[in-house]
Amino acid sequence: MSTERRRARTEDEKHFRRQQILDAAEQHFSEVGYEGFSMANLAKLVGVVKGTLYLYFKTREEVFLTLYNQSLVRWSHVFLEQLQGSMTDRDYVTTLYTTALADGSFIPLLTRLEHVIEHNVSIESLIQSKRNFIERVDCLAQATAPVLSLNQSQSVELVKTMGVLLVGATRADQSPSLHGEDIPDDVQALIDSFSSENIFIKNACRIISGIRTADGSITES
């Protein structure tokens, strides 16, 4: 807040202003979550009026889609940095899981991507987002192949499948926090049994085994 009060006239200035909004959005999102996020509050945080936000983003979801794109890139860099020359399957998936959760925005946005965010976004933005995704998958797959001794197509399949599993496994983490409530033992036991870390790591390992085991020719039948 209270940084630039000048009007953004050049493309550079506009780009900078846009990023200012995104930074504030990231902060607002981390504070109130997806459902609590409002454009009016975001505007206050940026220090502009609500209408100004719509000069830079067509809809609220365009903000989220951009945040998602940025968080995907950000996470993939962190993850790639932590990859070693050779890792066990378990180390690989643990690193993937840990880095993904460490980013405050990535998982919550990924969770809502298809069924909420993509539904109020221009086709151009959607295509751009998918292209960004393709690029990240390719990059991750390229780096993954040697680490896990997979060929290229196996590696691509693995990376895509990890995304699927990550969304499914981390569902449990999105439940309302029940701290201070008295939960019956049977229900508490159920909740405990859905520890996202356990579920992700265990099944990710099973899937890697499955991918590695299958001979490349068989796909359907």
Partner DNA sequence: TTTTTTAAATGACTGCGGGTCATTAAATAA
Partner DNA sequence: TTATTTAATGACCCGCAGTCATTTAAAAAA
Residues that bind DNA (CB under 7 A): 6-9, 14, 17, 37-41, 48-52, 54-55, 58-61, 120
Residue 172 interacts with which of a copy of itself, DNA, none, CB < 5 to 8 Å by class: a copy of itself
Half-sphere exposure of 141 (CA within 13 A, CB side): 18
What DSSP string describes 15-83? HHHHHHHHHHHHHHHHHHHHHH--HHHHHHHHTS-HHHHHHH-SSHHHHHHHHHHHHHHHHHHHHHHH-
Residue closer to a copy of itself, measured from CB, 18 or 202? 202
Taking CB under 8 A as the binding criterion, the range among 4-12, 50-58, 71-79, 197-205 that sits at the site for a copy of itself is 197-205
Residue 179 interacts with which of DNA, a copy of itself, none, CB < 5 to 8 Å by class: none
210 is a contact residue toward a copy of itself (CB under 8 A): yes
How far CA 196 is from CA of 71, 168, 179, in Å, comes to: 20, 9, 18
Taking CB under 8 A as the binding criterion, the range among 1-9, 19-27, 94-102, 174-182 that sits at the site for a copy of itself is 174-182
Residue closer to DNA, measured from CB, 66 or 170? 66
